[in-house]
Chains A and B, each alone.
Chain A
Amino acid sequence: MMKKLSIGPKLYIALCFVFFYLPIAVTMFFSFNSSKSLTKFTGFSLRWYKKLLEDQEILSAVYVSISIAVIATLVATVLGTITAIGLSRSRKVLKEWILNINNIPIMNPDIVTAIGLMILFTSVTISRGYMTMLLAHIAFCTPYVITSVYPKVKRMDHNLANAAMDLGATPFQALIKVIIPMLKPGIYAGMLLSFTMSLDDFVVSYFVTGNGVSNISIVVYNMTKRTNPTINALSTLLILSVGIILVALNVIPVITKKRRSKNVEMSGSKRKIFRRCMAVAGGVAIIVVAVFCVTRFTTMSNKPVLRVYNSGEYVDTELLTRFEKENNCRVIYETFDSNESMYTKIQSGSEYDIVIPSDYMIEKLLDEDYIQEINWDLISNKEAIMPGLIGKSFDKEGRYAVPYYWGSVGILYDKTAVDKDDLKAGWELLRNPKYKGNIYMYDSERDSFMVALKALGYSMNTTDESQLRKAYEWLIEQNKTMEPVYVGDDVMDNMISGNKQMAVVYSGDAAYVISENENMEFFVPQQGSNVWTDAMVITRDCQNIELAHKYIDFFLQEDVAIQNTIYIGYDSAVKSVYEFFRDEEYADNSGCAPDISNEKNEEFKNRDKDTKAFCSNLWTKVKSN
């Protein structure tokens, strides 16, 4: 009956698959790269696979992703299928209501679903983590199953089920033996969709999770600062395992079928494939749940727990393991991508013992009475801290914050492409028409306004609307004449690859880029800049104050700080470590130890709500201009 495809369609299908698999092929290819780069292949190596197997964070994320996807898919498939069957028998009003409500999660942007669920989970005070993530995934997967199964139900011949029951089948038997088999294609499609949606979800998981539970997407997202092929290695393994399962499911039955007899009907073997699929899925689910329970029990031991919330890529995780061993405790470590998102998370009810925000955010948290005082008697390494870093304007008496890292903001440029004389213009370099189309601006409303305000000679903490408006015009003018690209942390990878000639970056990020690409150089414009400090603070609802102090003290230890700094690249708050990097390790690196003696430098202060709203509105205008 079926015609064989001619060459044209075959070619078309092949081309489509090339398009699909091109990015995956690239991902796989670079998993074998010997260097960190994702654009230049420097040689074959398996180092990223080795790293992957050592990376506890990624491994636990894999486990979370897969177990949630399997469980959510199974629950959603059962729930969705029975609902779809019941739906076709329901009254019209109810049916339409359910279908419309059901469409909402499919139609709504993920982010809306995510925020809605987040508010919900917060208001009913469920502790956020694995359970909330699972509930959320079932919530957004089930509608996909219903929309795939329901059309099949509508088109199904209802008489068959009635006939089965007339012939003595119970409703349950009729359901299993008659109805479900008729709906199989729809159920398959629904299962596939929901498994895929769940495995790939980022936004919803990101908002509803907590207590250090993260899936692959969240880990990858937090890696944006420093992408490295570890995660490529992971996807290669994932692809290979999917391939193996595929072969197992499709080739083995064919072989066994051939061996047995040639007159087995196609539909029979299809049923067998279906059963085998279900058996495998069920088996995997059971194993996963069992493993989960076991790991839960073992980790639920009486060890004290410390919940730390830090910026992404802002600690060498080996040090966390060391701290856990030394203090016989467990660190639940979570990361955020900006001070603002951290604030959102805290506001929505997530609890932590230690948080590591920046200066102005500390000021804000202090205002809101979120932070408790440091007991300096418990910090044996207090003397190691660089003088001048304690008692900054956000914490004048030095009672609440223990400095972690500090730095400045400046321009990173390609010294082979940018004329040395042009640097004299300072921030105005960013408006030099010579470099049109060759600029990355950092997408931070605060730092971009800082650049413009400083270029105009104003304070970066101004609340004067006319000055802010002039800064806005500066940025608009720059956008029009220079066509800059506004980027996030991907600026680092871009500059390492030398995609553009200059970028506004933080000093520590510059140090990292320079260590990877020696053509780059960093300077802080003479008009002044933002000098910032990130510090460790203990929260008001900290549950283990002694351990929290130990954690802070640990990161002030010299050997710890050196190892941490090698990983992070910023300027340490520990004096001896800072000097070691300035004078030895990074002596030629202009991103390290930037000169901050300029009197025009400032640090950010917390803004009032109106100024904040005013600026963010203007910043949106600049970007979308």
Chain B
Amino acid sequence: MRHYKGLVKPYVIWSFLLIALPLLLIVLYSVTTGDNSLVTIHFTLDNFKKIADPVYVSVFAKSLQIGLIATGICLVLAYPMAYFIAKCSDSVQDILILLVTIPMWINTLLRTYAWISLLADNGIVNSLLEMLGLDRVTMMYTNFSVIIGLVCDLLPFMIIPIHTSLAKMDYSLVEAAGDLGANRIQTFTKVTLKLSLPGVINGVTMVFVLSISSFVIPVLLGGHQFVLIGNLIENQFISVGDWNFGSAISVILAVAILLIMGLMNKAESDDNGGAE
């Protein structure tokens, strides 16, 4: 297997040019002032000091809250789904997973518009409620609409990795656990859940990151008062034109997320260390 060592080389160069370099440029922007040219660079930490403003702190807190709720709901909904799918026969599994994936091929913006038609004050759901003689409910531009939009959009990102780890799981381990006297709950927690943990971690990180940084869904379903980190960054880059401050927020966000990632990776590798 040593023969394949060299295969990694192209990506080393590629990832430096298209991943690391852009990031370094952003870091550079975050610690400089607006009037830069290549010749004169003014370093400053003001961009980071500005983030301590209570408004921005509350934006971070709200993003975190929304991200956690959306991730939690996704996990609760996705695990049984992935589990049941993994129990089907191979060909049915393929079809079900494709069915999970297809909605993602339809433009997110479009699906979000559809939610607007459904949830609006004069929308489809409210018309139905009215026909049934019930009161109308305000659903648009609330936490509810944003969470629904996010969950619907991100659920596949949770189902697919969990399903991947469950599907590759050696089913004889479950049988062995049963033969050795474990009851169904024990088998599930000690064998199935444990073996699917990498998928869960993968899914949770993906959904969490996508949800706290998304800005199109919160804007369309939550209204523009729904300022999350993603909106804040977008706003700084596009409307305000303060790229330096926008970069500073991005840097903080990236650092925070990388820290969480690091912790999760550590948890995962500790877990594997015990198993091997």
Interface residues of A (CB under 8 A from B): 1-3, 5, 9-10, 12-13, 16-17, 19-24, 26-27, 30, 38-39, 79-80, 82-83, 85-90, 94, 98, 100-113, 115-117, 119-120, 123, 135-136, 138-139, 142-143, 146-148, 151-152, 155, 158, 161-162, 165, 171, 175, 185-186, 189, 192-193, 195-196, 199-200, 202-203, 216-217, 220-221, 227, 231-232, 235, 238-239, 242, 246, 250, 254, 266, 270, 273, 338, 340-341, 343-344, 347, 437, 443, 445, 479, 485-488, 490, 493-494, 497-500, 609, 612-613, 616-617, 620-621, 623-625
B192 sits at the interface (CB 8 A): no
Q: Is the CB of B239 within 8 A of A24?
A: no
Interface pairs A-B: 8 shortest CB-CB: A116-B22, A86-B7, A109-B213, A86-B8, A23-B114, A443-B224, A486-B224, A171-B3
Q: Is the CB of B89 within 8 A of A2?
A: yes
Bound complex: CA A27 to CA B105 (Å): 13
Bound complex: CA A341 to CA B10 (Å): 35
> Given known contacts A27-B114, A39-B122, is B242 in contact with A613 (CB within 8 Å)?
yes
> Given known contacts A86-B8, A242-B102, is B114 in contact with A5 (CB within 8 Å)?
no
- Besides A109-B250, A193-B160, 17 more A-B contacts (Cβ < 8 Å) are A2-B88, A38-B116, A94-B12, A98-B12, A104-B254, A108-B23, A112-B253, A113-B22, A116-B22, A119-B29, A147-B202, A152-B168, A195-B105, A202-B109, A340-B239, A488-B224, A612-B240
Q: Is the CB of A107 within 8 A of B257?
A: yes
Q: Is the CB of B109 within 8 A of A39?
A: no
Contact residues in B for A238 (Cβ distance below 8 Å) = 105-106
> Given known contacts A109-B213, A200-B104, A497-B120, is B113 in contact with A38 (CB within 8 Å)?
yes
B164 sits at the interface (CB 8 A): yes
Q: Is the CB of B59 within 8 A of A151?
A: no
Contact residues in B for A216 (Cβ distance below 8 Å) = 107
Q: Is the CB of A27 within 8 A of B113?
A: yes
Q: Is the CB of A217 within 8 A of B109?
A: yes
B15 sits at the interface (CB 8 A): yes
Contact residues in B for A139 (Cβ distance below 8 Å) = 14, 18-19
Bound complex: CA A500 to CA B122 (Å): 9
Q: Is the CB of A499 within 8 A of B122?
A: yes
Contact residues in A for B113 (Cβ distance below 8 Å) = 27, 38, 227
Nearest residue in A to B151 (C-beta to C-beta)?
A19
Contact residues in B for A39 (Cβ distance below 8 Å) = 117, 120, 122-124, 127
| Interface size class of chain B, counting residues whose CB lies under 8 Å from the partner chain | 35 or more
Q: Is the CB of B110 within 8 A of A220?
A: yes
B191 sits at the interface (CB 8 A): no
Nearest residue in A to B5 (C-beta to C-beta)?
A89
Minimum Cβ distance to chain A for residue B245 (Å): 8
Contact residues in B for A89 (Cβ distance below 8 Å) = 1-2, 4-5, 8
9 contacts between A and B (CB under 8 A): A5-B84, A9-B84, A10-B84, A30-B117, A85-B4, A86-B9, A103-B261, A117-B18, A347-B241
Bound complex: CA A443 to CA B168 (Å): 49
Contact residues in A for B62 (Cβ distance below 8 Å) = 624
Query: Binary interface profile of B, 65-97, with partner A (CB < 8 Å = 1, else 0)?
Result: 000000000000100110011011111001110
**Option from A10, A13, A620 in Cβ contact (under 8 Å) with B55:** A620
Bound complex: CA A12 to CA B88 (Å): 14
B225 sits at the interface (CB 8 A): yes
Q: Is the CB of B246 within 8 A of A499?
A: no
Bound complex: CA A433 to CA B87 (Å): 57
Bound complex: CA A82 to CA B246 (Å): 36
Q: Is the CB of A120 within 8 A of B160?
A: no
Q: Identify which of B3, B25, B53, B233 gathers the most chain A CB atoms within 10 Å of its CB.
A: B3
Q: Is the CB of A3 within 8 A of B253?
A: no
Q: Is the CB of A23 within 8 A of B152?
A: yes
B64 sits at the interface (CB 8 A): no
**Option from A38, A185, A479 in Cβ contact (under 8 Å) with B117:** A38
Bound complex: CA A83 to CA B12 (Å): 9
Contact residues in A for B152 (Cβ distance below 8 Å) = 19-20, 23
Interface residue SS majority, chain A: helix
**Option from B14, B23, B99 in Cβ contact (under 8 Å) with A104:** B23
Q: Is the CB of B20 within 8 A of A26?
A: no
Give the residues from 205 to 263 in chain B that come closer than 8 angstroms, CB to CB, to chain A: 205-206, 209, 213-216, 219-220, 223-225, 227, 229-230, 232-235, 237-243, 246-247, 250, 253-254, 257-258, 261
Contact residues in A for B239 (Cβ distance below 8 Å) = 338, 340-341, 445, 616
> Given known contacts A5-B84, A17-B99, is B106 in contact with A104 (CB within 8 Å)?
no
Q: Is the CB of A83 within 8 A of B257?
A: no
Contact residues in B for A195 (Cβ distance below 8 Å) = 105
Contact residues in A for B216 (Cβ distance below 8 Å) = 202-203, 221
Minimum Cβ distance to chain A for residue B203 (Å): 11
Bound complex: CA A131 to CA B26 (Å): 22
**Option from A5, A90, A613 in Cβ contact (under 8 Å) with B240:** A613
Bound complex: CA A10 to CA B230 (Å): 37
Q: Is the CB of A617 within 8 A of B55?
A: yes
Contact residues in B for A490 (Cβ distance below 8 Å) = 116, 220
Contact residues in A for B53 (Cβ distance below 8 Å) = 617
> Given known contacts A112-B253, A120-B21, A250-B95, is B104 in contact with A26 (CB within 8 Å)?
no
Contact residues in A for B167 (Cβ distance below 8 Å) = 185
Query: Binary interface profile of B, 151-169, with partner A (CB < 8 Å = 1, else 0)?
Result: 0100110001100110110
Q: Is the CB of B215 within 8 A of A235?
A: no
Q: Identify which of B9, B56, B107, B206 gathers the most chain A CB atoms within 10 Å of its CB.
A: B107
Contact residues in B for A165 (Cβ distance below 8 Å) = 3
**Option from A13, A250, A488 in Cβ contact (under 8 Å) with B85:** A13
**Option from A221, A242, A347, A487 in Cβ contact (under 8 Å) with B109:** A221
Minimum Cβ distance to chain B for residue A505 (Å): 14
Query: Binary interface profile of B, 137-177, with partner A (CB < 8 Å = 1, else 0)?
Result: 01011000000000010011000110011011001000000
Contact residues in B for A109 (Cβ distance below 8 Å) = 209, 213-214, 229-230, 233, 250, 253
